[in-house]
Amino acid sequence: MSSSITVKLSDKLEKELNAVVKTEKISKDEIVKDALARYLAIKHFHKIRKKVLPFAEAQGLLTDEDVFQTIS
């Protein structure tokens, strides 16, 4: 099942979107769906990270470098 939404864009954002559509030959629909999927994935990542962070800190994993060293 699919649904549709209406989004109001500023003139500047609409011009930028139209330029991308023209140069990349991709539909506005595809661009918006991709952007929404990426946004939701980032939100999901931050939610998981927030839950896991205390456990990582307890193991001394404070930076990305700490994590990379541990898994290497």
Segment 34-64, tens digit of pLDDT: 999 999 999 999 999 899 888 888 888 888 8
pLDDT the model gives residue 7:
94
Contact, 28 vs 17, CB < 8 A? yes
Q: 1 pLDDT exceeds 90?
A: no
Kindly report, residue by residue over 5-22, the tens digit of the pLDDT: 999 999 999 999 999 999
Contact, 31 vs 21, CB < 8 A? yes
pLDDT the model gives residue 33:
95
Rounded Cα distance between 12 and 47, Å, is 32
Instruction: Tell if the pTM clears 0.75, that is, is over it.
Output: no
